[in-house]
Structure 1
Amino acid sequence: MSADQLEIDVLLYVALNEEFEALTSAFAEDLHAKLEVTELTDLALQVFSVSVTSPVLKKEIRLAIVPAGKMGATRAATVVSGILGRSSCNNVVVLGIAGSLSDDLQPGDVLIPDSVVEYLANSAAKNVEDKEEWELETSGNSYASNPRLLNRFQYLKTTHREQFERWEADCAERYAPVATEEVRAKMGEAGFTMRSEVRIFAGDDHKLASGPTVGKSEDFVEWLKSKVDRKFAALEMESAGVYDASSLREPPPRILAIRGISDFADERKKLIENGTKGQFREVAAKNALSLLLRGIEAGFFEPVAPEDVKKKSGLMLDKRRKNG
């Protein structure tokens, strides 16, 4: 792989080193493949790549992983812009862990949001009438996930049963040793009953809150859902930057967020982390990657040739002219 021009079908953005380490071991376990590494000459980044065979497409899909080594939307946007500037990549996936904002999503589940909301973007601080207090008035940026990719993952269980059942079996094997009776009992004492299996939550108007704040407070979660958007399902810190950087490309790549749920974004976060010694973070990251790999095998990320993009754009323009 050249450091000047990267040959990529799917760009995978990963923020933290612990997420990347979990994914590295998952690649070895799942694909029995070693990642190839390219150190870029003009960016302090390394790109790790691997070929994933798609039996459906009868070809290999080139997947490139870029670990940023740092949290936050600013870093994410900078890194993704730099990679897309030297690649004709048509698919971007931001993958990692997130904290649940809903009792429906429990540790181990995987969320593919309908949209990503940068909840503190364009916010304004204003005084509260008749009180010596101030509050934030929000007006966040919202980014939509690619509808085609989202739809395909929504119906993976129906359209590609073999890939779905493999994902489900792999998740169950990882989940059982971590979700012990002791952990379940502690969660029960906190008023939450854990399911015995993990699930995919894709689309269905689930929104991902993306911003600079780590959630460890029930009051903060209440503020997010009551003052910003009640449909927030999970919280993280990078996806808004990845989506924004991708949206500036012309034509833009298809983009998706795949987030493994590692804990809850409130007081239960500490309970989960102490009870499992952080093991759910690794489980969540691996469950998310496993879902991505099954999607690649199912042909969800078929390469899109530049001439096809131009052809589609031309057809849409002709259609508008006829209807105009």
Structure 2
Amino acid sequence: MVNILIVDDSARKIQAIKHVLEPLITDSVHIVVANCINSAKRELKKKNFDIMILDIYLPQTFGESPQQDGGMRLLKMVKNSKFYSYPRYVISISKYEQSTEVFSSSEGKIHTAIFYNEESNEWENKLSSCVEAAISIVENTIVHRIYDFDVAVICALEEEAEMIKEALINVEKYQVDYDDDIYYKGFFDTEDRKISVVLSFANQMGMVAATSLATKMINNFAPRYMVMTGIAGGTKPDKMNFGDVIVAKTSWDYRAGKDIRKDDSTQHLNSINALSIDTKLISYCRDLSQDKASLREIKDNFKQGDAPGTELQLLIGPVVSGASVVTDPEIVKDVLENQHREVLAIEMEIYGMYYAASWAINPRPRFIALKAISDFADSKKGDQYHKYASYTSAKVFQVLATRYFEYEE
């Protein structure tokens, strides 16, 4: 769609301009008319215009006397305000030659001024030629999105995000127009390069909030990698310990499907729609899981609270997501027996982030979730190892981001 805005207070002149444009109008060309500065501002707030055909003599409000510099003031206002999108092409049409000269001296390097002379059709030919060329360029423009940030990190809790911020340098709050979520940006500084990182935490726990935030971060920042860190409930206390980091190789909503009534009980029939991470990311994690020295260093450097007396492990396998915190071991048993016996953890957000990244606009990021065990999804839930688990998750991410992730293509 090509949007054209005509800004003029003369009905006769507007009709003349429309007559010139009529042969160029197709289903993909839309014309809007504004008859004063104020109405033009309202239209420019509503949508983006590709072409603006502008009178220089314009009233502030329709019915008032036109101001000699009205059009120029409107352009300056639009150019200097974040509330308006500046048109790609501006064509000034004035019956005062002096006005066209003023416009040309100010804007002529990138825009066009046309002297409106009713006794000649020269202005018509020039306007038709300019608009036809502009429409052709706009319609044939291909928008290429490129990667903007190296990594985007999403957390479910603020305390998890704080662990990421502590590992970055030059951290600062980052505001995005028309988006009320809170973002931070910073860097990992390596010998080879600075790795740009943007992070945020959701307004609430759960898949819906994670999907929404991940989608916005991908749209706003176009990251090469989308990462989730934080804590989860483990399912295999005989094979894992508090603080061990689980790589969600695959994830799905373990409550998706339908519940049916059978005799005097309700039976859940699950629909598993598993989403998987990139095989190269799995390879990175397998390599790091064998690097016992790096994992031991991560554990030994934790000085902020209680840590278990076990070695830190990096485990790779399925992780399932659900809408609520699990404290019932029967739920864990049901997942392991009826869905996948190798599920390593249960939590509330990963599948939402994986879904957002899988169906994101291009260029899509590679995605991975690294969640550390803070409990075992039973009634013994506590917060003794929350900080340690948040820490190990963040530090494993830091190692992957600085030693393994590839940023050039």
TM-score (structure 1 length as normaliser): 0.75
Correspondence 1:280 to 2:408: no
Secondary structure class of the residue paired with 1:137: strand
Partners of 2:294 and 2:357 in 1: CA distance: 31
Q: Which has the higher helix share?
A: 1
- 2:339 maps to which residue? 228
Q: Which segments of 5 or more consecutive residues in structure 2 lack a partner in the other structure?
A: 1-81, 86-144
Secondary structure class of the residue paired with 1:95: strand
Q: For 1:267-290, what per-residue CA distance to the aligned partner results, in whole angstroms no more than 9, with x for missing partners?
A: 332xxx2xxxx2311110110111
Partners of 1:297 and 1:37 in 2: CA distance: 22
Q: Find 1:248's aligned residue among 359, 367, 378.
A: 359
Secondary structure class of the residue paired with 1:83: helix
| Percent pairwise identity | 22
Aligned residues: 264
Q: Find 1:10's aligned residue among 138, 151, 161.
A: 151
- 1:303 maps to which residue? 407
The 8 Å contact of residues 16 and 67 in structure 1, kept in 2 or not, is answered as yes
Partners of 1:238 and 1:157 in 2: CA distance: 23
- 2:376 maps to which residue? 264
Partners of 1:64 and 1:201 in 2: CA distance: 26
- 1:19 maps to which residue? 160
Q: For 1:245-278, what per-residue CA distance to the aligned partner results, in whole angstroms no more than 9, with x for missing partners?
A: 1111234311111011111111332xxx2xxxx2
| Greater CA drift, 248-257 or 105-114 | 248-257
The 8 Å contact of residues 175 and 283 in structure 1, kept in 2 or not, is answered as no
Q: For 1:90-123, what per-residue CA distance to the aligned partner results, in whole angstroms no more than 9, with x for missing partners?
A: 21111110010112122110111221122122x1
Which residue identity lines up with residue 260 of structure 1 in the other structure?
A
- 2:315 maps to which residue? 201
- 1:139 maps to which residue? 271
Distance 1:36 1:81, change over 3 A: same
The 8 Å contact of residues 170 and 187 in structure 2, kept in 1 or not, is answered as no
Secondary structure class of the residue paired with 1:35: strand
The 8 Å contact of residues 305 and 388 in structure 2, kept in 1 or not, is answered as no
- 1:151 maps to which residue? 283
Larger radius of gyration: 2
- 2:219 maps to which residue? 85
Secondary structure class of the residue paired with 1:220: helix
Q: For 1:118-175, what per-residue CA distance to the aligned partner results, in whole angstroms no more than 9, with x for missing partners?
A: 2122x111121xx2221211012201012111211210266xx5xx634422313438
Partners of 1:63 and 1:167 in 2: CA distance: 22
Which residue identity lines up with residue 67 of structure 1 in the other structure?
F
Does 1 or 2 have the higher relative contact order (CA < 8 Å, sep 6+)? Answer: 1
Q: Which segments of 5 or more consecutive residues in structure 1 lack a partner in the other structure?
A: 181-194, 306-324
Secondary structure class of the residue paired with 1:261: strand
Tell me how large the CA RMSD over aligned residues is.
Answer: 2.5
Distance 1:52 1:220, change over 3 A: same
**Within-5 A mapping of 1:151-170:** 151-156=283-288, 165-170=293-298
